[in-house]
Amino acid sequence: MAKIDTYLKKIPADVAQIGVGAVAGAAAMTAGELLVAQPIRKGVTNWRKQIGDLKAAGKTAEATALEAKKPLGAGSLSATTIKDLTVLGVGILAKATAPKNTTTEYATDGIIFFAVADLITRKIGVASFTSEF
């Protein structure tokens, strides 16, 4: 870390902050997508397929029972929202526990910013979409 801090001190602080924050935020969101959101989506897809298979086989009662047992991501929180909240939590935890130096401050700020920005823009997008109708 000391080497990175040395290099960061040679460029303007705001440029370093944006660069480190962007890399850390993008990496955290990508990891969240791969480790959190995709497995949740896969589970929801499999659940829906099982319901469809049961209905096609004429097992309506079993399909109805399975429909009542919604997996994570099939309810009011989507896989993307769960990912964003997870990344936000990791960013806050990292900010609280990481050693205090320029690089970790920039990185944790970037992670938190990316997660909050994604949460805000998706909610604003939903509100503006529904208000047009």
| Cβ–Cβ < 8 Å for 85, 119 | yes
Average pLDDT over residues 80-94: 93
Determine the pLDDT at residue 122.
Answer: 76
pLDDT at residue 63 above 90? yes
Determine the pLDDT at residue 62.
Answer: 94
pLDDT at residue 123 above 80? no
DSSP-derived letter for residue 1 is: -
Rounded Cα gap, residues 9 and 17, in angstroms: 11
Q: 132 is written with which tokens?
A: 């047009």
Rounded Cα gap, residues 127 and 125, in angstroms: 6
Determine the pLDDT at residue 121.
Answer: 83
pLDDT at residue 78 above 70? yes
pLDDT at residue 133 above 50? no
Rounded Cα gap, residues 40 and 86, in angstroms: 13
